[in-house]
């Protein structure tokens, strides 16, 4: 036995480390009792029990299927006969069978025994595509049966109205101000949105819906024959009578719009005058964009919403998308506690920039001269794609690039390399500021240094005299904000040449005044009262004096300028418009008419109400963008 070790009695308590009552050195013994010594051959326990449990767990779990990325897939087949040799031909055939079954269930076709048809017979064709999730992984094989509408000879009226971007922003501003909740429903192949505005500032719900196979709900208004698609010729014959507004027909969107409009009227809603796709009644305000439906409802009136939903489901097959998170590729963020809503297109910006791999830079935009280079179809196509995508961004959520888009859009026909470099520069700026979002809030900035920021609703008008060096046409822009959110803006070049800054400002003020009166009518139709007289701010003192004072008038021989002047004077004197002066440094529309240095541009962005929502996006990661709602090519 080692020295200093001694046996501890069995009844002795184990030391408690928390009490620091460990035995002293003289109390420790190294003597070991024979009863505590294991003798004989060591026995190993079998692992069979573990392996059995593991095998049972595997049997209960379905084997995971490998998912292909978009870069690993071959191009989708272009024709039916291509399916035989395509590696995913069977999957696309199954999708086609499902699509044709859906069309027949909707009563899309009617068999006919006629062999000779005097009217035109339109071919049907299959369009095959892949559907990917937000990570670019394949999740669905899609087959769409469409009509060769490009061969249609007599189609008549085809225009189908859609929801204006400014109306959507206006409704989102009201949603934030009145605490409305948003839920979405969808009609496949066409959709519509509805909003319920209640005269109180408490929580309201915004519902989002999707209508399944929406176009097929609309019957045709004239006789149309089509050629039976493969592989149904032997079963149904060579000719079919088309009964529904199948995709591809030139008038299919219009027929769906009419059908949906009639349905909403039957449900007790009335269209808002001068505002397509917006309907109201005492409880509801309904707006729609093709096949996307959104409904706003106050919690006190959920019964009305449920009744509306029940009656709508009796007409269309609806898919309920829940609370509104995306609309037309626009991300909708919300802070219920602060009463704020943000709209941003960061996802779309990343897709465009990542495709071209443009690094982020500050925005610098100057006037561009016409190109004298030889025409390049490849360069022209790239330029038109980038400018077209820029139009989508500048129209919906980014007024800070509206001026840049206005300048770049003037050179779509024969752009040079300098024009391509300029539009790429704008996209690099957008990528560096992709987390900026327009914001609406219940709270008005009472302590702001800007007078206009204390107003619930206001407009701003500005002009840049003869800034186009080639034509000497002037530029003008206007901006309208409601609850802090820019709901309407425009940056454009005036059609006629003016002879002074005041004349250019008068034309801009006339255009802004017309928009102000349009908004006033919209407010009246939906019974929204801003509680103040809306004001238009202008930074040209002479122009403000001309339209407000009876004894001041601009004497000009330009009849069109004089007409704008007299109209604005009339509206101001009769109290329908209110025009006030503000310093140029505080003009929120300044960046819509001219290029600004970096410091002034940053101030312009702040005046627009754009906020960085990068931190908020961390709470939005579990709401992937519905890639089927919109596409960019």
- Where would I find the H helices in 178-243? 233-236
Q: Are 484 and 598 in contact (CB under 8 A)?
A: no
d(CA 127, CA 146): 7
Chain centroid to CA 628: how far? 12
Residue 107 has a CB neighbour count (10 Å cut-off) of 11
Q: What is the torsion angle, in degrees rounded to the nearest 10, for the CA atoms of residue 78, residue 84, residue 89 and residue 94?
A: 100
What's the pLDDT tens digit per position in 70-115? 888 999 999 999 999 999 999 999 999 999 999 999 999 998 876 6
Measured CA to CA, the distance from residue 425 to residue 361 in angstroms comes to: 7
Q: What is the pLDDT of residue 360?
A: 55
Residue 276 in 3-state DSSP?
coil
Q: Identify the burial level of 276 via C-beta atoms within 10 angstroms of its C-beta, where 0-12 means exposed, 13-18 middle and 19 or more buried.
A: middle
Q: Measured between alpha carbons, how far is 270 from 272 in angstroms, rounded to an integer?
A: 6
Least confident of 163-167, 378-382, 421-425, 531-535: 531-535
By CB atoms closer than 10 A (0-12, 13-18, 19+), residue 82 is middle
Examine the pLDDT at 170 and tell me if it is beyond 90. yes
Token pair of 247, please?
Answer: 């995709």
Let me know: does 91 contact 194? Beta carbons within 8 Å.
no
Angle between helices 541-548 and 501-525 (to 10 degrees): 60
CA distances from 239 to 110, 112, 205, 232, 252 (A): 9, 7, 48, 11, 20
pLDDT for res 226: 93
Q: In three state form, how does the secondary structure of 408-422 look?
A: HHHHCCCCCHHHHHH
- Tell whether the model's pLDDT for residue 62 goes beyond 80: no
Mean pLDDT of the chain: 82
pLDDT tens, position by position, 297-330: 777 777 887 888 899 999 998 887 777 888 998 9
pLDDT, residue 1, reads 46
Task: Flag whether pLDDT at 123 surpasses 60.
Answer: yes
- Residue 565 in tokens: 């002047």
Coil, helix or strand for 225? strand
Beta strand 121-122 pairing with 219-227: parallel
Among residues 203, 204, 172, 207, which one has the least CA distance to residue 308?
A: 207
H-helix or E-strand spanning residue 475:
strand 475-482
Spatial separation of the C-alpha atoms in residues 589 and 582, rounded to whole Å:
11
Averaged pLDDT for residues 374-380 = 82
Share of the chain above pLDDT 70, in %: 77
d(CA 205, CA 297): 5
Element containing residue 456 per DSSP (H, E)? none
Residue-wise DSSP of 142-165: EEEEEE-GGG-------------H
Q: Within a 10 A sphere around the Cβ of 384, how many other Cβ atoms? A: 15
Question: How far from chain centre, in Å, is Cα 577?
Answer: 32
Q: What is the pLDDT of residues 399-445, one digit of tens each?
A: 999 999 999 999 998 898 999 999 999 999 999 999 999 999 987 75
Helix then strand then coil, in percent of the chain rounded to 5, is 35, 20, 40
**Residues, the chain:** 633
SS3 (DSSP) at 596: coil
| Averaged pLDDT, 109-128 | 82
Tokens read off for 321: 């998308």
| Token pair in block for residue 377 | 């179809």
Q: Angle 346-356/417-432 helices, nearest 10 degrees?
A: 130
Asked whether the predicted pLDDT for residue 627 surpasses 70, the reply is no
User: What CATH number labels 439-608?
Assistant: 3.30.420.10
State the DSSP code for 463: E
Distance CA 38, CA 36 (A): 7
Least confident of 160-174, 196-210, 452-466, 503-517: 196-210
Is residue 231 reached through a cis peptide bond, with omega within 30 degrees of 0 on the bond before it?
Answer: yes
Tokens of 440: 């609406």
Residue 114's pLDDT is what? 67
Give the whole-angstrom CA distance, residue 512 versus residue 543: 13
- The residue with greater pLDDT, 403 or 6, is 403
Alpha-carbon torsion 445, 449, 455, 461, what sign?
negative
DSSP 66-85: P--BGGGSPPPPSSGGGGGT
d(CA 275, CA 265): 15
Report the C-alpha gap between 630 and 431 in whole angstroms: 20
Q: Is 153 exposed, middle or buried (0-12, 13-18, 19+ CB in 10 A)?
A: exposed
H-helix segments, 409-500: 417-432
* Nearest by Cα to 365 from 435, 467, 261, 436: 467
pLDDT of amino acid 255 = 94
Pick from 12-21, 130-139, 265-274, 523-532: least confident = 12-21
Give the distance, in angstroms, between the CA of residue 64 and the centroid of all CA atoms in the same chain: 33
pLDDT, average across residues 115-121? 69
Question: 337: which 2 tokens?
Answer: 């506690």
- Give residue limits of the domains in the chain: 1-36, 341-435+613-620, 439-608
Identify which of 631, 633, 626, 627 has the alpha carbon closest to the alpha carbon of residue 184. 626
pLDDT in tens, 452-463: 666 789 999 999
pLDDT at 213 over 60: yes
Cβ–Cβ < 8 Å for 158, 249: no
């Amino acid at each position: 036995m080692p020295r200093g070790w001694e046996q501890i009695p069995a009844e002795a308590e184990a030391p408690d480390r928390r009490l620091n009552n460990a035995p002293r050195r003289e109390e420790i013994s190294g003597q070991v009792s024979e009863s505590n010594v294991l003798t004989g051959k060591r026995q190993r326990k079998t692992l069979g029990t573990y392996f059995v449990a593991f095998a049972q767990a595997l049997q209960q779990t379905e084997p995971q299927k490998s998912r292909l990325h978009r870069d690993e897939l071959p191009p989708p087949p272009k024709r039916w006969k291509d399916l035989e040799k395509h590696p995913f031909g069977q999957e696309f055939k199954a999708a086609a069978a499902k699509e044709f079954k859906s069309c027949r269930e909707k009563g899309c076709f009617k068999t006919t025994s006629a062999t000779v048809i005097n009217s035109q017979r339109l071919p049907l064709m299959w369009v095959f595509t892949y559907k990917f999730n937000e990570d670019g992984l394949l999740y669905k094989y899609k087959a769409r049966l469409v009509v060769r509408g490009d061969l249609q000879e007599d189609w008549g009226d085809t225009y189908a109205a859609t929801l204006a971007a400014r109306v959507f922003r206006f409704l989102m501003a009201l949603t934030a101000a009145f605490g409305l909740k948003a839920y979405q429903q969808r009609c496949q192949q066409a959709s519509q949105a509805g909003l319920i505005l209640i005269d109180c500032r408490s929580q309201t719900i915004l519902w989002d819906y999707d209508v399944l196979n929406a176009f097929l709900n609309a019957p045709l208004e004239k006789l149309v024959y089509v050629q039976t698609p493969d592989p149904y010729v032997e079963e149904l014959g060579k000719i079919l009578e088309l009964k529904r507004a199948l995709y591809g027909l030139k008038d299919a969107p219009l027929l769906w719009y009419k059908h949906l409009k009639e349905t909403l009227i039957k449900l007790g809603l009335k269209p808002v005058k001068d505002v397509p796709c917006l309907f109201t009644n005492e409880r509801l305000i309904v707006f729609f964009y093709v096949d996307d439906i959104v409904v706003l409802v106050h919690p006190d009136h959920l019964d009305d919403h449920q009744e509306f939903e029940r009656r709508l489901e009796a007409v269309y097959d609806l898919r309920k998308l829940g609370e509104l998170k995306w609309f037309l590729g626009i991300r909708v963020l919300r802070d219920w506690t602060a009463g704020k809503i943000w709209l941003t297109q960061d996802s779309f910006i990343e897709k465009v920039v990542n495709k071209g791999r443009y690094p982020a830079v500050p925005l610098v935009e100057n006037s561009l001269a016409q190109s004298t280079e030889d025409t390049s179809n490849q360069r022209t196509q790239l330029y038109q794609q980038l400018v077209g995508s820029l139009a989508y961004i500048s129209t919906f959520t980014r007024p800070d690039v509206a001026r840049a888009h206005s300048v770049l859009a003037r050179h779509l026909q024969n752009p040079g390399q300098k024009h391509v470099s300029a539009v790429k520069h704008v996209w690099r700026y957008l990528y560096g500021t992709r987390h900026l979002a327009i914001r609406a809030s219940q709270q008005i900035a009472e302590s702001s240094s800007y007078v206009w920021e204390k107003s619930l609703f206001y407009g701003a008008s500005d002009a840049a005299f003869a800034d186009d060096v080639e034509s000497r046409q002037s530029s003008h822009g206007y901006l309208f904000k409601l609850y802090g959110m820019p709901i309407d803006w425009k940056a454009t070049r005036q059609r006629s040449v003016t002879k002074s800054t005041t004349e250019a400002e008068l034309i801009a003020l006339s255009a802004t005044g017309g928009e102000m009166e349009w908004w006033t009518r919209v407010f009246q139709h939906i019974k929204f009262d801003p509680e103040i007289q809306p004001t238009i701010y202008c930074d040209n003192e002479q122009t403000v004096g001309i339209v407000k004072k009876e004894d001041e008038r601009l004497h000009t021989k330009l009849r069109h300028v004089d007409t704008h002047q007299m109209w604005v004077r009339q509206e101001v004197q009769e109290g329908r418009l209110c025009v006030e002066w503000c310093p140029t440094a505080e003009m929120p529309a300044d960046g819509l008419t001219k290029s600004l240095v970096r410091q002034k541009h940053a101030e312009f962005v702040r005046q627009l109400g754009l906020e960085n929502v990068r931190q908020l996006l961390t709470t939005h990661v579990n709401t992937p963008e519905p890639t089927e709602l919109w596409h960019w090519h």
